[in-house]
Amino acid sequence: MNPTLLKSVVALVPPAMLLSGSLFLYSRTKTFPALIQIFGAGCLLVVVLSHVCEAVSIFPAMRWGEADSVGHYLDLWGAVLGLTLFPLGYLFHGVAIKGVRPKHALGPEAPSDVLALEHSRVAEEGITR
């Protein structure tokens, strides 16, 4: 087996996992940051697929691996867009969910207020230990 093809096929795994995770996130949230992640992961997948095409010699008119060729610029812009858009989508998603507070068992209060709430309840009911 061609060593370049083997490396390219192995390199398909991470972008495919990023794409499947992004698709799963988008199916659950339907948000713009998840859509940006999908597009970024897709661009990274295009980069790896261009290397697979180079190893198997598919579409020789693209002149894979040569400078100033269509294949070179497809590879370059796929990498630039993928390495820019995927992290941006991840960052925007993290910023968007940071404002969402989890609901606690004792109500919407922050965990630091839970002890004060318990002490006030004990004082109101006159419970002694």
Do 29 and 70 have their domain in common?
yes
Do 34 and 49 have their domain in common?
yes
Residue 8 has pLDDT above 60, yes or no: yes
Closest Cα to residue 86, out of 124, 33, 48, 129?
Answer: 33
Q: How far apart are CA 10 and CA 52, in angstroms?
A: 10
Do 55 and 68 have their domain in common?
yes
Closest Cα to residue 86, out of 126, 125, 47?
Answer: 47
Do 91 and 127 have their domain in common?
no
pLDDT tens, 84-121? Answer: 999 999 999 988 887 665 555 445 555 555 556 666 66
Do 81 and 113 have their domain in common?
no
Do 105 and 59 have their domain in common?
no
Range of the domain at 41: 3-98
| pTM of full prediction above 0.75 | no
Q: How confident is the model at residue 64 (pLDDT cuts 50, 70, 90)?
A: confident
Rama region for 57: left / alpha / beta (φ>0; ψ in -120 to 50; rest): left
Task: State how many domains the chain has.
Answer: 2
Closest Cα to residue 17, out of 37, 3, 35?
Answer: 37
Predicted pLDDT at 30: 93
Do 128 and 87 have their domain in common?
no
